[in-house]
Amino acid sequence: MRGEFLDLAGYRLYYYAAGTRGAGEPVLFLHGFPSSSFLWNDVVRYMPEGHRLIVLDQLGYGRSDRPADAAVTVAAHAQRALAVLDALQVPQACVVGHDVGGAVAQWLAVHAAQRVTRLALISSVGLTAWPRWQTRLARSLAVLARRLPASLLAGEAHAALLPGFADRDEGRHALDQFLRPFVQPAGRAALLAHLAAQHPAETASLPLHAIRAPTAMMHGARDPFVSVQLSRSLQAAIPGATLDVIADGSHFLPLDAPDRVAAVVGALLARQ
């Protein structure tokens, strides 16, 4: 894996590249809240050969810059993802999104359809159904922010997110990675900005019926944050979409079942 930074519109975005360039389509991986490119590390190892794999830290997450005054809405993240593809001279890609990254992927498939060859949605938010816990957490943290240091705010988020992992020990390690950017004072504003930007209005009006990219979806049956029914609704809205429900999977499927996520994405890439 080779990681580096891209300077785009005054902000540095981190990404790493993996896989090999070949006849296959490039693949762009988009994480959700509050994760980072770390989410996909094991998935990348199981991916089929012959594809250039691009794994991005979206603005405000991982090693990328904090957002400051930049928008962190679904549309803003999507437009930055397009700028990353442009900078890397990738005209088209299969786009894989998890959680809020799935909403970003949906936006791209609708508004930049010519750039999206295939679409994979993993435990994705969408339509009018976003996790209620995020709204509650946003309100709680907004109150706590006035009197608690950033490290304790990140601790509150850690406790709220841990049920989203099938393996709690692995979840604790992953959350330590995900929440590291938010334990510093500058990270507190970023964490609150991400939560404040998450709103069903971002996805409620997307004309999903217009998506023509072959689409595969996955959802963990034990997901405590996003109902499997939401993925069923997304499947019904997107023509030809398939859905795999992982019986022992929770919300963070790329960590719970990286081999199965890679297998579904690989099958999507092979779909004629």
pLDDT in tens, 187-246: 777 877 887 788 788 899 999 999 999 999 999 999 998 999 999 999 999 999 999 999
Query: Tell me, what's the pLDDT at 47?
Result: 97
Concatenated DSSP letters of 232-267: HHHHHHSTT-EEEEETT--S-HHHH-HHHHHHHHHH
Q: How would you classify the pairing of strands 2-8 and 27-30?
A: unpaired
Structure tokens at 130: 């976003």
Radius of gyration over every alpha carbon of the chain, rounded to an integer in angstroms: 17
Q: Where exactly are the structural domains of the chain?
A: 2-130+200-270
Question: 139 and 196 in contact (C-beta within 8 Å)?
Answer: no
pLDDT of residue 158: 82
> Are 223 and 251 contacting, i.e. CB atoms less than 8 angstroms apart?
yes
- pLDDT value for 140: 56
**Nearest by Cα to 151 from 136, 143, 161, 141:** 141
Q: Which of 59, 84, 78 is nearest to 69 (CA)?
A: 59
| Planar angle of CA 9, 12, 14, nearest 5 degrees | 130
The separation between the first and the last C-alpha atoms of the chain, rounded to the nearest angstrom, is 29
Which tokens is 104 given? 């970003």
**Tokens 């709204």 found at:** 135
Confidence of residue 68 (pLDDT cuts 50, 70, 90): confident
The bridge status of strand 93-98 relative to strand 27-30 is parallel
Cis amide leading into 48 (omega within 30): no
pLDDT mean over 92-104: 97
Distance CA 137, CA 116 (A): 33
H-helix segments, 64-218:
74-87, 100-111, 132-144, 150-161, 168-179, 185-197, 201-204
Reduced to 3 states, what is the DSSP secondary structure of residue 150?
Answer: helix
Whole-number pLDDT of residue 147: 56
Q: Which of 5-9, 21-25, 138-142, 182-186 has the highest mean pLDDT?
A: 5-9
Band the pLDDT of 73: cuts 50, 70, 90.
Answer: very high
- Band of residue 2 on the pLDDT scale cut at 50, 70, 90: confident
The answer on pLDDT for 55 being more than 90 is yes
Is domain 2-130+200-270 given the CATH code 3.20.20.140 in the classification?
Answer: no
How far apart CA 257 and CA 259 sit, in angstroms, is 6
Lowest mean pLDDT among 71-75, 99-103, 202-206: 202-206
Residue 87's φ and ψ, nearest 5 degrees, are -65, -30
| pLDDT of 139 strictly over 80 | no
pLDDT-derived band of residue 69, with 50, 70 and 90 as boundaries? confident
Beta bridge partner(s), residue 13:
6
- Report which of 100, 144, 153 is spatially closest to residue 124, judged by C-alpha positions: 100
Q: What is the DSSP string of 18-52?
A: EE--SSSPPEEEE--TT--GGGGHHHHHHSPSS-E
